[in-house]
Every structure is written in C-alpha cells, then in structure tokens.
C-alpha cells in the first residue's frame, strides 16, 4: 500500500543493467531499429533511476530509516467503538494518509497504526506520527503539530506538506473517535429513557391492579357485614 523508494531505485538499476546487457548481446544479431529502441529504453530507465536517487538524497538519515523500516504499519477495525480513523490526501502531490488509533477507557491511545501512499516524506511522517501517538492521552495527542514532525525528521522545505498531512490525519482520527463516543452516549441515554418508561408503565399497571384488588376486598367485607 505504500511506496518504497529504495526498492524502486534498485528496480530501476536492475532494469538499466539488464537493458544494457540486452543491447550488448543483440548488437550483432538485431536490426538497427531494434537496437535504437533498446538504447532509448536504457536511457529512460537510467534517467528515472537518477531522478529517484536525487530525491532520496535530499532526506535526512532519520527519514530514510523510517522508510527502510517503517513502524506501526497496519489496520484496525474502523467500525469498532474504541477505534478512530483519519484519512487525508493531497491531490497536488498524490499523497494519501490513513491513521487509526485505539483508545482505552482512560482516554489513552494504546495503539496507533498507519497506511500511506506517497513519497519518502509521507511514509516517514506517518511512521513517526504513529510512534509519537502511542501512550498519549487524547488531549495531548491533539497538540501534536506538523513542525514537531518535520523538525524531528529534518524534512526538506518542499516536503513540509507531508508533516502537515500527518497532523491532519491525527486530528481526523481523534475526531472520528470522539464522534463515535458521542453517538454511543446518546444511544445509552435513549436506552435509559426507554427503560425508565417501561418501569413507569409497569408500576402504573401494578398500582391499578392493587386498586382493583382493594376494591374487591372491601366489597367482600361489606357483603359479609350485611349478612
């Protein structure tokens, strides 16, 4: 689900080496047109590899470590009442962040996971954000800012939007969790009201039944007195 730039660089390099070997092996047996096509393919693959390596080179070691070994990748049940899900994206850069949190009865985030589609900065920001969320109370988690994430990872200025999306995903997950709790409380209140109404009706029926029994006993008593 998430893009691994290091693996992509290795793929590009392998393709480049393979295409060069292919050109070398077919120079004496293939037509000029086929050789030209293979050579052009080699140039395109190598250019892609070069661009990818240049982009990776702009990142700090901390960001690259998060890319190589991202932590807390996974998913939780989005329908669970103790789980909040936040998904945000940027159409401009194509990054999509999904952050999920699991909150215990004390309001502490006991688990946070993510899935991200995007560049090195996107994956590193998501991984670090979920790492910071673990063990935090909701009121502390909502205070996490994109500057905290970008400063820790030392993201390039052009990748500041990645840390901003991570912050937005955190807030979206917290808001989703809180909205579920509001619905749950509302439902519990309605259940209590319904139960109270049922008890009231039962009591009224019992009172009417007791009244009828009392009237019957009085009538029986008066009839005996007359005899």
119 is catalytic: no
Rg of the chain, C-alpha, whole Å? 33
Among candidates 105, 111, 119, which has minimal Cα distance to 9?
119
User: How many other C-beta atoms lie within 10 A of the C-beta of residue 224?
Assistant: 8
- Choice among 49, 52, 119, 162 that is catalytic: 162
**Alpha-carbon gap, residue 96 to 87, rounded angstroms:** 7
- CB-based burial, 153-180: b 16+ in 10 Å, e otherwise: bebbeebbbbbbbbbbbbebbbebbeeb
162 is catalytic: yes
H/E run at residue 136: none
Structure tokens at 62: 């901390």
DSSP letters, 180-215, are HHHHHHHHHHHHHHHHHHHHHHHHHHHHHHHHHHHH
Specify the DSSP class assigned to residue 155: -
- Choice among 52, 93, 119, 220 that is catalytic: 93
What residues act catalytically? 93, 162
């Amino acid at each position: 689900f998430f893009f691994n730039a290091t693996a992509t660089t290795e793929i590009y390099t392998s393709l480049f080496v393979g295409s060069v070997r292919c050109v070398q092996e077919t120079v004496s047996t293939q037509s000029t047109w086929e050789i030209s096509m293979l050579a052009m393919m080699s140039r395109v693959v190598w250019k892609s590899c070069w661009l990818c390596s240049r982009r990776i080179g702009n990142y700090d070691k901390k960001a690259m470590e998060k890319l190589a070994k991202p932590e807390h990748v996974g998913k939780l049940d989005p329908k669970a009442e103790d789980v909040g899900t936040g998904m945000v994206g940027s159409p401009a850069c194509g990054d999509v962040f999904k952050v999920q949190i699991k909150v215990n009865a004390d309001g502490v985030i006991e688990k946070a996971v993510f899935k991200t589609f995007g560049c090195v900065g996107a994956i590193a920001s998501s991984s670090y954000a979920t790492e910071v969320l673990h063990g935090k109370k909701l009121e502390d988690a909502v205070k996490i800012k994109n500057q905290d994430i970008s400063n820790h990872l030392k993201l390039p200025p052009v990748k500041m939007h990645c840390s901003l999306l991570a912050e937005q995903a955190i807030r979206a997950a917290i808001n989703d969790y809180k909205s579920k709790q509001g619905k749950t409380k509302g439902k519990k209140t309605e259940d209590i009201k319904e139960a109270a109404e049922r008890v009231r009706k039962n009591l009224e029926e019992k009172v009417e039944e007791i009244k009828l029994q009392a009237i019957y006993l009085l009538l029986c008593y008066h009839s005996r007195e007359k005899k």
